[in-house]
Amino acid sequence: MEDNPFLSAQTGIDEIRSLFGERRFQAVIEKASALLKDNPYMDDVRSYYERAVEALNAEPFILEQLKVAEEHFEKGEYLKAIPAARMILDLDSEHPRAIEIMEASQQKVEAEPFVREITVRGLELFERGEFEKARTEWIKIETVDPGNRDLPELLKRCETVLFSKRYSPDVEETIDRLMREGQAHYDEGQFQDAANIWSRILVIDETHQQGQEVVARARRAVEEQQREIDEMLHRARDLHSRGLAEEALDLLDSVLKQSPAQPEAQTLSEQIRFEIEQTELRRKIDAVIGEARSAISERNWSRAMEKVNEALRLQPGNSEAVALSAAIQTGKTKERAEAHYRHALEHQRGGNAYLAFNEVKKALDLDAEHPGAAGLLKELEARLQAEAPVEEELELEPAEEPVSFPSTPSPIPDQPTSLRDPAELAVAAARPAPGWRFLVVSGVILAIGSVLLIFFYLNLDTMFGSINGSAALPEDSENAMRGPLPLPAPGEGYLLRGTQLLENSEPLDAIFYLQKVPPDSPLAKKASALIAKAQQELLELPPPTEVPPPTTGPTPAVSQPSANAEIRKAMAEGRASFSSRNFQLAAQRFSHILDLDAENVDARSYLLKTYYNLGLLALRDSNMGQADSHFRKALEYGPDDQPSQRQLNVIRRYRNQPADHSLQVYLKLQQLRE
C-alpha cells in the first residue's frame, strides 16, 4: 500500500510541534527544512521554522539575561530579577525558567510587607522572652512566603533558646557563654543581637543581676541606635528625593551595617541601586545614540546602523533607536536615488536619453521628492518625444461630386463633339457601369480572404506546433498524393506539442498542453508520465553558481573597514540562504549589500537568480501576479536575461488567451483538412 502523503506531512507537523514544545530548536529547523524542501507552501511548518530560527538567534542574549535574573533571584534582589526576566519573555514568551522567576519574584515582592510585619511582631515577642509565641508567629511566614530566606535563622534562634532553657546541663557555663556572645555583638555595634542573646540569660535565670544589667544596657543602645537609624533613613529619603542617589545609598549602607534586618533600609537601598543602574544604562544608550546621530550626519550608514543595533541590545524597543533606524533606511534610499540621478546626468551628457530616462525614473521611484529628478524627467520626455519618428498621415481629398455607376451605359446625347469638354468626355468614357462597383469590391475581399486562409493553413504548424499529431508534410512527400489524412488518436496533438515543449526546457507550457489529453485516451498514461517529468523539472531549481569578478568597470571603493566586513558577512549569509533555497532571506541579504555598495556585481547577479527562482515558485503555485512581479524584478538586475523575459512572455500569453484556445485551434485545423 502506497504511503499517504497527507498523513506523512501531518505526522511531520506533529513531530515538529513536539520538538518545539521541548525547545529543541535545532531539531525543529532540520525537520522543517526537510518538509519544506518537498512542499515549500506548508504554512504551519514554515511558521514553526521561522519561530525556531528567531529563538535560536536570540538564545545567547536569553542565556545571558537568564543568568542575571537567576543571580538576582538567588541573592533575594527580586526587584532586579523582574526586569531581567521580562526581557527574556519579550523575546520568548514561553520560556519556562523566565516565567518561573518572574512569578516567584512578583510573589516575593507582594508578600514582603506581610513578612516584614510578622517578623517585627515575632521579634517583639522574642525580646519579651515569649519564645514559644515568637516561634509560632514566625512559622506564619511560611504560609505567606514559602521558602523565605530569613525564616530558618529566626526559628533557629527560638529553638536554641528553648533547648538551652530545658536541657542545658550546666547553667553557669551556658550563662557565661551567652554573656561572651552578647558582648561580641555589642562591641560590633549589633545592639539588637546582643539584647536578644542576653535575654536568654533571663530566660534561664530571671533574677540574674548581671544579665538584667546587660539587657538594659543593650536595649538603651538599641533605642539610641534606632533614633540614629530613623534620622539616617530620613536623611536618605531626603537625598533620594533631591536626586542625590549616591549619598543616599552611602547612608543606607551605614544603616544596614548597624541593623542588617532593617526592612525599610533594605527596600530603599534596592530601589536606589536599581535606579542607579537604569541611569547608567540610560547614559550609555544616550552616548550610543549620539554616536549614531553623528554617523548619520557623516552619511556613514553602516556605523550608524551598528550603533543603533547596540542601543537596541542595551534596551530592546528603544523608541529613539527605532526612529533612527527608520531615518537610516530613508537616508540610504535617498542616497541611492541621488546615485541614480547622477547616472542619469552622465547618460544625458553622453547623449543616451533612453538610459538617462530609466535612471531618473528609478531615482523618482526611490525618492518622489528629489529636487532635480522631476525636472530632468520632463526634459527627457520632451527630448524622447522629439526624437521619435513621426508618421505622416495622408489625407484624401474628397470628391467634388459622387460618381455614379449605371448598370448600362447611358446614351450620349446627340450633340456635336466639339461642343463638349475633352476631359469630360474622357471621364465619361472611362466610367464603369453602376453594378460593377459591388462586384469589384466583393472580388477583392474574397481574394484577400483566400490569401489569408491559405497563409493560415500553411503556417499553422509553425505557429502552434503539431497540434493534430503530425508535422506539416513536405511538398515532395508521398503522403501528399494519398488523399485524405487518417484521423489522429484523441489527444495525440496535445501530447506531441507537450513533448516538444518539454524537450525545449519549457515545462510549464508542456504541462498546459499535456493536461488537455482526454483521460479515456490510450495516450493518457504517457501524458501523465510526461506531466510528472515536467513537474519534476519545474521543481529542480538551478543551483547557485559562483559569479566571476567583473573584468571591466571601476571597483567600488568602501571607505570603512566595517562596511567591507559587513558586505562579506551578508554575502556569506546570502549564499547560504540561496543554497538552502530560502530565497526570501537571500534577497534581503543581497539587497543589503547593494545598500552598502550599489555597484556590487556579485550581489546583482545573485539577486537576478534569486528573483528568477522566486518567480518559478510563484508559477508553480499558479500565482501569476506574484510571478510577474518577481520576473520583472529579475530583469531590473539583468535587463538582458533571456529566461526571465521568456517566462514573462509565457505569463502574458496565458493571461491574454482563453483556457480552451488550443482546442479551438485543433478543431479549426480538422475542419480545414476535411
601 and 631: one domain?
A: yes
Q: What CATH code is carried by the domain that includes residue 582?
A: 1.25.40
30 and 18: one domain?
A: yes
Range of the domain at 438: 433-464
Amino acid type, 350: G
440 and 524: one domain?
A: no
Q: How far apart are CA 301 and CA 327, in angstroms?
A: 10
Tell me what the mean pLDDT of segment 341-360 comes to. Answer: 85
First to last CA, the chain: 49
Least confident of 274-288, 299-313, 537-551, 580-594: 537-551
Tell me what the mean pLDDT of segment 47-76 comes to. Answer: 80
C-beta neighbour count of 268 within 10 angstroms = 20
Q: How far apart are CA 156 and CA 150, in angstroms?
A: 10
| Residue 70 to residues 75, 278, 373, 500, Cα–Cα distance (Å) | 9, 19, 58, 69
pTM, rounded to two decimals: 0.31
Residue 462 has pLDDT above 60, yes or no: no
548 and 458: one domain?
A: no
573 and 646: one domain?
A: yes
Q: How far apart are CA 663 and CA 498, in angstroms?
A: 14
Task: Dig out the grid coordinates for 87 from the structure.
Answer: 526581557
Average pLDDT for the chain: 75
Give residue 456's pLDDT: 63
Give residue 550's pLDDT: 41
Q: How far apart are CA 6 and CA 38, in angstroms?
A: 12
531 and 569: one domain?
A: no
651 and 623: one domain?
A: yes
Q: How far apart are CA 187 and CA 241, in angstroms?
A: 34
In a domain, 187, yes or no: no
Give residue 610's pLDDT: 92
C-alpha angle with apex 205: 201 to 208, nearest 5 degrees?
80
Q: How far is CA 511 from the centre of its chain?
A: 34
81-109 confidence digits (pLDDT tens): 888 888 888 777 778 888 888 888 888 88
Domain-ending residue, one of 79, 94, 109? 94
Q: How far apart are CA 319 and CA 297, in angstroms?
A: 19
185-209 confidence digits (pLDDT tens): 888 877 888 888 888 887 777 778 8
Task: Dig out the grid coordinates for 648 from the structure.
Answer: 514573462
Return phi, psi of residue 327, to 5°. Answer: -65, -35
Residue 329 has pLDDT above 80, yes or no: yes
588 and 495: one domain?
A: no
Highest mean pLDDT among 137-141, 283-287, 472-476: 283-287
Give residue 539's pLDDT: 61
Radius of gyration of the chain (CA): 46
Higher local confidence (pLDDT), 308 or 458: 308
475-521 confidence digits (pLDDT tens): 443 343 334 444 556 677 788 888 888 887 777 778 878 888 888 88
In a domain, 9, yes or no: yes
Residue 474 has pLDDT above 70, yes or no: no
Task: Dig out the grid coordinates for 485 from the structure.
Answer: 489524412
In a domain, 410, yes or no: no
Residue 5 has pLDDT above 60, yes or no: no
Give residue 477's pLDDT: 38
The model's confidence at residue 457, banded by pLDDT at 50, 70 and 90, is low
652 and 547: one domain?
A: yes
380-431 confidence digits (pLDDT tens): 888 777 775 544 443 434 434 444 444 444 444 444 444 444 444 444 444 5
Q: How many structural domains comprise the chain? A: 5
Residue 7 has pLDDT above 60, yes or no: no
525 and 556: one domain?
A: no
